[in-house]
Chains A and B, each alone.
Chain A
């Protein structure tokens, strides 16, 4: 009641009813960099998945994927990154390793936890085949399902070279795709080929592009206009623009894997892409039912199912 100010006869200052308190302001200021915690009583929405298709399985694409997942986690989303490339470049990048493959003592080695609660899973076909017994595979599937149950968005990372081996996944499991497009002729043609492959297997796919390796702003529009024009002209489909990323000028160091270590422009680009991802993907409208994503991927693609 000490907040009530007398303004005159019969008038009271009731602004405190609408404004947050100083303590609240302080608390929110300090917690702004922390991921938003969710009320466990609120039922979580079905898990949404998006497949991010890189130009090649290298550290540059891993840089984008990992930093995008961190940016999304900062926006309060629970993120899981599934690395489906040989050698797991994303996981290595995240863990600050350069070219080392993660160990394979047991299935736990393929599932890791990163900062801001981002979950990492490596699902390479050859690696999975090396898992010794079916009990271990089954345990891994259980772990993956547990991740899926506590995730808002699953980001699947795969390079164009490996995309051709994923046709069942393209057709049945994932609806949303993000294709990385650099501003050079040959890589653009490869990206277009990837887009054509996706649409040929999944005509209802929603494909967006992230234009990378940008030196000047005008290149963004040039790349997008060319790519979207070709897709419209030859495939009769539309592309979504998710944003762009400036070229990383300094040498890629896996140990400094967070965008803010590079420069503010890169951080801003990734933050913008993350916001568009949240707006476009609309977590309430799911591409697959909760609990089915990893089961479908492991059963259809790797031949792993629960025993």
Chain B
């Protein structure tokens, strides 16, 4: 059976939530160590992560096309450099390799021609531009990340795909199975199916949790 998905707009908070829970879908081994990190005039770093080589990664996302993301991320790199000693103390336990230039991952629904051209001219930094496509099919949603610009050759990651592209064997199970579903091409005029009023069922464990409740249990 073919599942039809309809591409829809996603709220920035939901996009951030999905990315937060699926850091591995952007790059294997990437782990977030901070969220919404304020950087004075340079705005918020949506996610500060470290990759498998202990290098910092600045991950910014926007639910709409935003040409200024590249410029913002570069100015945030400057802020990271300026505050290196503070970051070392802040993330002491993470053993971050501050000697290496952090990589930048920018996520958006699309990137303008100017943004792509600008990134391709930046030889000194590792910058990935990742486009996402968010879709709905009834109660299920799906998101697909696709790298559109990166110096190293490679296709984008598709999270939770039933017919997944081959992945290296050293990737753990939790990195293979995301919460998201694949996106199939959908004709523009197809209507979004309406979710039926479903009954919320409780598991026996959930019921037991409350059946054992004693209102005087803290005495």
Residues of A within 8 A of B218 (CB): 218, 221-222, 225
**Shortest Cβ distance from A126 into chain B, in angstroms?**
16
Q: Is there a chain B Cβ closer than 8 Å to A189's Cβ?
A: yes
Q: Is there a chain A Cβ closer than 8 Å to B1's Cβ?
A: no
B209: contacting residue among A184, A222, A226, CB under 8 A: A226
Contact of A188 with B210 in the complex, beta carbons under 8 Å: yes
**Distance, CA A119 to CA B113, complexed state (A):** 51
Interface mask (A233-261 → B, CB under 8 Å = 1, otherwise 0): 11000000000000000000000000000
Q: Is there a chain B Cβ closer than 8 Å to A197's Cβ?
A: yes
Contact of B215 with A234 in the complex, beta carbons under 8 Å: no
A222: contacting residue among B14, B200, B202, B216, CB under 8 A: B216
Contact of A167 with B195 in the complex, beta carbons under 8 Å: yes
Tell me the count of chain B residues lying within 8 A, CB to CB, of chain A: 23
Q: Is there a chain A Cβ closer than 8 Å to B170's Cβ?
A: no
* A189 in contact with B202 given A165-B197, A230-B210 (CB within 8 Å): yes
Q: Is there a chain A Cβ closer than 8 Å to B214's Cβ?
A: yes
B206: contacting residue among A165, A192, A200, A216, CB under 8 A: A192
Q: Which residue of A lies closest to B199 (CB)?
A: A164
Contact of A185 with B210 in the complex, beta carbons under 8 Å: yes
Q: Is there a chain A Cβ closer than 8 Å to B205's Cβ?
A: yes
Interface of A is mostly: helix
Contact of A230 with B206 in the complex, beta carbons under 8 Å: yes
Q: Is there a chain A Cβ closer than 8 Å to B13's Cβ?
A: yes
Q: Is there a chain A Cβ closer than 8 Å to B207's Cβ?
A: yes
Residues of A within 8 A of B14 (CB): 203-204
**Distance, CA A164 to CA B217, complexed state (A):** 32
Contact of A164 with B13 in the complex, beta carbons under 8 Å: no
Contact of A218 with B195 in the complex, beta carbons under 8 Å: no
Contact of B214 with A222 in the complex, beta carbons under 8 Å: yes
Contact of A192 with B197 in the complex, beta carbons under 8 Å: no
Contact of B197 with A218 in the complex, beta carbons under 8 Å: no
Q: Which residues of chain B from 1 to 30 have a CB within 8 Å of any chain A CB?
A: 11, 13-14, 17
Q: Is there a chain B Cβ closer than 8 Å to A229's Cβ?
A: yes
Contact of B210 with A189 in the complex, beta carbons under 8 Å: yes
Q: Which residue of A lies closest to B211 (CB)?
A: A185
Q: Is there a chain B Cβ closer than 8 Å to A223's Cβ?
A: yes
**Distance, CA A197 to CA B215, complexed state (A):** 24
Residues of B within 8 A of A185 (CB): 210-211, 213
B215: contacting residue among A167, A196, A219, CB under 8 A: A219
Q: Is there a chain B Cβ closer than 8 Å to A193's Cβ?
A: yes
**Shortest Cβ distance from A189 into chain B, in angstroms?**
5
Q: Is there a chain A Cβ closer than 8 Å to B203's Cβ?
A: yes
Residues of B within 8 A of A219 (CB): 215-216
* A226 in contact with B219 given A167-B197, A193-B200, A234-B203 (CB within 8 Å): no
Q: Which residue of A lies closest to B210 (CB)?
A: A189
**Shortest Cβ distance from B196 into chain A, in angstroms?**
9
13 chain-A/chain-B pairs, Cβ below 8 angstroms: A183-B215, A188-B210, A192-B202, A193-B200, A204-B11, A204-B13, A204-B17, A218-B216, A219-B216, A223-B215, A225-B218, A226-B213, A230-B206
By a beta-carbon cutoff of 8 Å, the part of chain B in contact with chain A is 11, 13-14, 17, 195, 197, 199-200, 202-203, 205-207, 209-211, 213-219
- Top 3 closest pairs, chain A to chain B, by CB: A183-B215, A189-B210, A230-B209
Seed contacts A164-B199, A167-B195, A188-B210; 8 additional CB < 8 Å A-B pairs: A164-B197, A165-B197, A183-B215, A196-B200, A196-B202, A204-B17, A222-B218, A229-B209
